[in-house]
Amino acid sequence: MGNRILGALRRLSELGTLYYNAPYRAAIARAKRDEEDLFMLLVFSEMMGIPNPAAWSTLELQPLLMDRFHQWHTRMGMERSPLDHFRCC
C-alpha cells in the first residue's frame, strides 16, 4: 500500500516536472548553448589574440573541449577550424 502511494507520488512528480519543463525546452537549450559558446570563447581566446589572464587554467581544458570545439566552429559558420595551430578537422 505504502509502496503504491509512493509510486503514484513519484509518477505525479515526474509528470509535474515534464509539465514544468516541456514548453521551455527549446528556449533553455538555446540559452545554455549561448552560455557554452561564451565559455568556449574564453577558453580559446588566447589563440585568437585576446589576452586571457586565466590562460594557465584554460589551457588544460582545451583537450577536453576538442569535440565541442568542432561543433562550435561549424555552428559559428566556419567550415574549418579558424585557428592555425589548432586543427580538429
Partner 1 sequence: MSAIVLLLLGLGGMAAGYLFYSRFIADRIYRLDPNYRTPAHEYEDGVDFVPTNRYVLWGHHFTSVAGAAPIVGPAIAVIWGWLPAFIWVVFGTIFFAGVHDSGALWASVRNRAKSVGALTGEVVGRRARTVFMIVIFLVLLMVNAVFGVVIAKLLINNPGAVVPVWGAIAVALVIGQLIYRRIIGLGVVSVVGVIALYSLIYVGPKVPIALPEQVMGLSASASWILLLFAYAAIASLLPVWMLLQPRDYINGLQLFVGLILLYGAVLIGNPTVVAPMINDNVPAGTPSLLPLLFVTIACGAISGFHGLVASGTSSKQLNKETDARFVGYFGAVGEGSLALAAIIAATAGFATLADWEAVYTAFGKGSLTAFVDGGATILAGGTGMDVGVAATLLTVMAALFAGTTMDTGLRLQRYIFQEWGEIYHQKWLTRPLPATLLAVASCLLLAFGAGGADGSGGLLIWPLFGTTNQLLAGLTLLVITIMLVRRGRPAIYTLAPLVFLLVMTLFALLIQLKSFYDKQDWFLLGLDVVVLVAALLVTLECAAALKKAFREPVEQA
When the beta carbons of 1 and 26 are compared against partner 1, the nearer one is 26
Q: Three cell numbers at 11?
A: 509518477
Report, in Å, the least distance between residue 30 CB and partner 1: 9
Report, in Å, the least distance between residue 24 CB and partner 1: 5
Q: Three cell numbers at 36?
A: 557554452
Q: Three cell numbers at 74?
A: 561549424
When the beta carbons of 17 and 57 are compared against partner 1, the nearer one is 17
Q: How far is residue 11's CA from residue 14's CA, in Å, rounded to a whole number?
A: 5
Q: Which residues bind partner 1 (CB under 8 A)?
A: 9, 12-13, 15-20, 22-29, 31
Cα angle 25-31-36, degrees, rounded to a multiple of 5: 120
When the beta carbons of 19 and 56 are compared against partner 1, the nearer one is 19
